[in-house]
Chain A
Amino acid sequence: PHFVINVPSQNDALCFNIQEEPGVVLNLVEDQGLGIAVNGEIIGKKKIGNNVMSNETYFGKLGFVNREMKLRIEVTTETITIMLGKNKKEYTWEKTTSVKKKGLNLVIHKKNNMTLSFGEGAKFVIILHQFLKDDPLHMDFLGFYTLDDHKFSAHVHGLLGQFFHGIDYEISNVHKTKIPDKPDATMKVKNKLLTVTRGSQKDYRSDPRKGKKVPCWFVHSNAEGLIDGTHKDYIVPDIF
């Protein structure tokens, strides 16, 4: 999956990929202060017969936990399941629905996206990317967007969460590469020097089909050097 980190102070963005095997669950947000966690399970590598047709990996399942509310929400490309204590309720992407309980606001927009917010705090948007069942390359997958990042506690962590309170970096030594418009540069971040490449990723919130291009500095090697530790440190055993 492609990660995009907005850096308003630099009027720019950072991006990176995390390559892992299907079935692996990654921790995206962990805020012990608010008792909120978000994990995502990787899918991908579509096969036809025994041939792997695509090596791309995506998020096919997202798990949201709000410990204070004793709430767990599982979002897949087919269903949305809300588990509140022992109660469990399942919704599909086929119908526009809204669910409101004290402090939980969930709106499903038919076959399109859902928004999820906990009280006055965190707000998330999940985009459903759907393809034809017999598409040789693509399979349905999910996009995950965080809003109101500032509302998380100072200790928020995770592959996305660690950037919620900003990141400082400096770019220097921009130089041409074989690919026009994709210069390489040196990024000074966390007292390390990384080689990064100018590129772009897409924001699908306003246009779920085409998306809107967002220029960014791409950090190679599973964001090594940019993220705290290595990406393996963010592998968790279960979606919850």
Chain B
Amino acid sequence: SIAGTILIIPRLRPHVASERAVQSGSGSDNDSDPVPIVLPRFSVLAADSETTSTIIRNESESATVEVYNISGDLRDAQTRRTVLQRSGMTRSGNDGGRIALRSVSRLTVPQRGAVEHVADNSRFSAKPGTSDRNKTTHSPLSLVPSLGGVMRRRRNGPLMISSVDVAVTPMMLRGVKYPNAHAVRVRLHAPCEADTDWLEFGLAQAASLLTPGPSDPSKRDGTQPSVDIVNVSVDGVPVRFESSAFAKQERNAMISLGPSLDQEIQSDWITWVRVHVGDQGGLVIVDYVVN
């Protein structure tokens, strides 16, 4: 038996969200026709037979979850299985399904003053004790809409990373200190509204940064460090990342890093990492171990 939890978190684009809030009084057509998400499906490759069951639970304060069959027109009443209010749940079997979030605020709030009401909700629910709703906000899921509301910030400065804090901890196992093994924690605030949802960085061998140009590859072959990305999170939530090691022959030529790096430096890239930060920005923490 294999069990897991899939968190589906709304993605709020700052500028789009604010535009929608302004339009909400006139009834945005986006709200009347939410975009469904196909439930992820899992399969055990080596199994002779398997049964998959998905429990869909709505923990969002500000949205209902509409559950649809895997196929069929969304506007067809036969396609929609059920609508989950907060704390409601339903089960989906082997055939899978689709779900869509529908904002509650837009349905229940009077048209006049809708913008203020939405903003107040998100602000209050982030502070315990200021609203009756907080009696049920123990789950991190229920905080997600609140965080999205608080973090709607538009960047009007340059696209850059304001600061990067790197903490290096030398590794010691069974009392023996490994000469070059170390753990690294990188903390930075990803810029919001960047051109891409991905934050990228490379790890290069420091020695070659100090001695650019042709070097002695034979000397380095036996000492190339390996990098293991342990965890990547944004605002405390683990996020998707990709890590690729470079073969020796392709290290120098593959990456175009833009104007921030000295193009004269011939680095020996060990690893290139891409972190899916979204466009909201947020505190990115990356932990990795170098051996």
A binds B: no
Chain B contact residues, CB within 8 Å of chain A? none
Chain A contact residues, CB within 8 Å of chain B? none
